[in-house]
Structure 1
């Protein structure tokens, strides 16, 4: 299937979805869509690596929905299941499916553990959804109870690395054992470590087309990586100074310690910096309000743990700030990959003590990136004097 016209029609996407995409101002496919959509339309299984915010959701949703809408419509129960690890990511995928299904009789349903199961059962009966998005635990529960048929034509694992991590792998594997038939499968994530591939491939069936994205190019060429030294006790003060000097349009601050999120937010707010926090156990309404406030610009800074920020897709993030750094390259990619979306440039700044910066130096070599030491002087981000002399 050629793509000579350079647009979605050349990938095999029909007029209906092309018009839907135009309503979003999307007229040209991004790289991952060019590579994945034609293959899935041909019935090939796809395992692909692509950072959050690069169009991977539409890369699998469009071929799935187009194929199902062209079918005979006789399926009993959902024909497609999309699994994702968090409420936030499930909600985002469901919203995208709802957008694509506007002006059709077809519906998508959201099945997550934090919602009332009774309402979900009633919704499945009433809506008879074409597609279901959910986390493995709740979907598994409903399937075991006989409330959700798993005669699927399509199965997707979004954020596959998290779905195959220890805390979710059992639920994911047990759920897959209940699926009937041989659905066409796809899996995607910002990173695909070897352990993830070893676990996901048996759940997908064969053959599988593995597509790597240009994430390393984005990390290397589109994101500036900065390092600021700070003792642990001074990190929040350095963060305040950095925000004043760098003038970010939107900044996402990461901390590995969930308990620190509230403390950081309180201290920033005390100094009149509009900041909000995202907590893993946050009430759903409060979480949505925080995200709405941040996306709208009412808050400049969002502070989150890695777990709470998983799967977030926030446009126009100019700066990512890490207040700690481990040795895991995948964790660094997940953090840095929140900026430099859609061809824009971004900054990944690490504020760290000796241990953090030692880890960052190791990551610099593993990931093939250049990390530049910086310091704050006179209200500006500067190159340290020793580096200038060199």
Structure 2
């Protein structure tokens, strides 16, 4: 069949080698005569998958022994509530930096549970940038400071993270986890839905400092909303999304095979450069939503001179095998989500299509 260029925002492209490995083992995993989906989550065969996936993630992200890796369900949206349930005590404040729709949803959920405050926001500019760290205001009474590291709708991304000593830094990294090197030690807690860079939908990875989990006052919190439930039971308190964790492991094996985060980050920078240069060199026809200093390496958002041209471009793109290029309704235009598994060839093909379309119009 004709090639398909998958720029979906999520669920997103998965590495072909990971899918092919899963396909090969789909009906008979590890000579068990069963699919990994059919194995008991208490079996030794599945336990090997579970442990290897954790160890690979720890190795690739250089996660220190001070942090615990948890596999949870419910997506990042559940973390919007789970986080304050565990960390936001009655005499503390949850600080939120607003950089898009997902951080708005996160603070809304937390406000049902405890006191919150907006430390900084770029909403007034329709989230075209990340706030300057000099303009982020904290309090001595902060329970944590929450950021969204990458904003899929608006195409912005944090380039530097706050250095905090007074409270844990918490990050929703759903759309850029494992896409670049970072110092995990800086963060009290990281959470990420898997469906953009890590694997299929259904798994949420939480990386949390053990001391935060241990010190959480959760006697009033339902069992399945406590981080300690997952920590004490190795994320096996109830049946985890076993196939999702298995496929997450396959994706991590692929990342390791291509040279780890260093090589992946180089590839992501090159993919983004190809498209951003096309936007900049054709300024006036293609216009980026994000300010240059805040541009995301994962989601490239841009508009054309008018809605009619945008529709024509998207129609042509669909005919040529491009999938998922429609921009979010809040800003319109186009969005190319170029997560880890999107190959450079797809970005080059998009560049060529953009140039061709401009020349024809």
Q: TM-score, structure 1 length as denominator?
A: 0.32
Q: Which has the higher contact order (CA 8 A, sep 6+)?
A: 2
